[in-house]
Copies of this chain bind each other. A is one copy, B any other.
Amino acid sequence: MTANNKIIDCTVRDGGLVNDWDFTPEFVAELYTALNTAGVEYMEVGYKNSPKLLKGNAGPWRFLDDNYLKSVITNKDFTKLSALVDIGRVDEDDILPRADSMLDLIRVACYVSDVGKGIDLAKKFNAKGYETSINIMALSHVLEKDLVEALKEINKSPIDVVYIVDSFGSITPNNIGYLVSLFKEHLPEKTLGVHTHNNMQLALANTLEAANHGVSFLDSSVYGMGRAAGNCHTELLVASLKDKRYEMRPILDIIERHMIKIRENWEWGYNIPYALAGILNEHPRIAMALRNSADRDNYVDFYDKLTSPESVPTATGAKG
């Protein structure tokens, strides 16, 4: 762990997958102030997808708008702002030049099979002056040969940061070193990042192990708020990095005043169906569906279905 670490708090973006982005502008403004006081380097404030290209209406944090953002975060200071985009869901004409925008970093989420499109998109954001990252999802479902080819292409691009994303919460600390070595070998020019999920209660351990191996962009969420089992907890990461830049106290204040109440109304974090999805290296959507059904605590049946030779394999579709 070095002074080069950057924390990207994803509470609004990944947490929005839990509560359909039901965050008030007051909450987002307070969270910004807390993260800024805590010394957290980036706040990912949502998705910069286009409502024209995506069904559903989930408010301003799924379809970020610069004017609205300016009205909410009126005290922009040390903490930079980041947005995630999905391939095919972003309208490039929506993206202002960085000089006119509240955003500093745009991250492109993509699967290995879409990496060419991901690179093209990220290059356009680079040309508009943004810092960029490419976040390769579902790594645990990818052939190493295909991954290596994708990394070689990314290495030739102007993209700044390349992310190891444990979409299914199935990676263990023992495997992190191997993945980091692979990324370093084929991305000698790039900064690396990591985004973990807590299905096996390994999100913090995996993040710290990645940092030990030289990964510098570390994703987390306050109180772990993120899809299904959630993410590495920002409060634990800030404490564990033991860096004088970071203050845990403003994060605790947000948890006390907001997150406990949000958690009473929305579920995320460790439970047995999410653990099983991680252990069995499956997309969490089937576990999320179970948790929304009357069978939510029928673990043995769920285990039997997941491990039966007749079980239907899941498609990869949702985002990590």
Contact = CB atoms under 8 A, between A and B. Distances in A.
B203 A201 contact: yes
A101 interface: no
A236 B200 contact: yes
A140 to B, nearest CB: 15
A171 to B, nearest CB: 12
A255 B240 contact: no
Contact of A200 (B174, B204, B252, B304): B204
A209 interface: yes
A127 interface: no
Contacts of A239: 200, 275, 279
A299 B222 CA distance: 14
A243 B303 CA distance: 18
Interface string A115-143: 00000000000000000000000000000
A236 B275 contact: yes
A174 B303 contact: no
B299 A255 contact: yes
A297 B260 CA distance: 8
Given A252-B300, A303-B248, A236 B174 contact: no
A253 interface: yes
Given A200-B204, A202-B205, A275-B236, A256 B212 contact: no
A202 B300 CA distance: 26
Given A208-B173, A279-B239, A272 B300 contact: no
Interface in A244-269: 248-249, 252-253, 255-256, 260, 269
Given A174-B212, A205-B202, A209-B173, A272 B298 contact: no
Given A201-B236, A235-B275, A272-B235, A208 B172 contact: yes
A255 B275 CA distance: 13
Interface string A96-113: 000000000000000000
A198 interface: yes
10 contacts: A173-B173, A173-B205, A198-B201, A200-B240, A204-B205, A205-B205, A236-B275, A236-B279, A248-B303, A260-B297
Interface of A: 172-174, 198, 200-205, 208-209, 212, 233, 235-236, 239-240, 248-249, 252-253, 255-256, 260, 269-270, 272, 275-276, 279, 297-300, 303-304
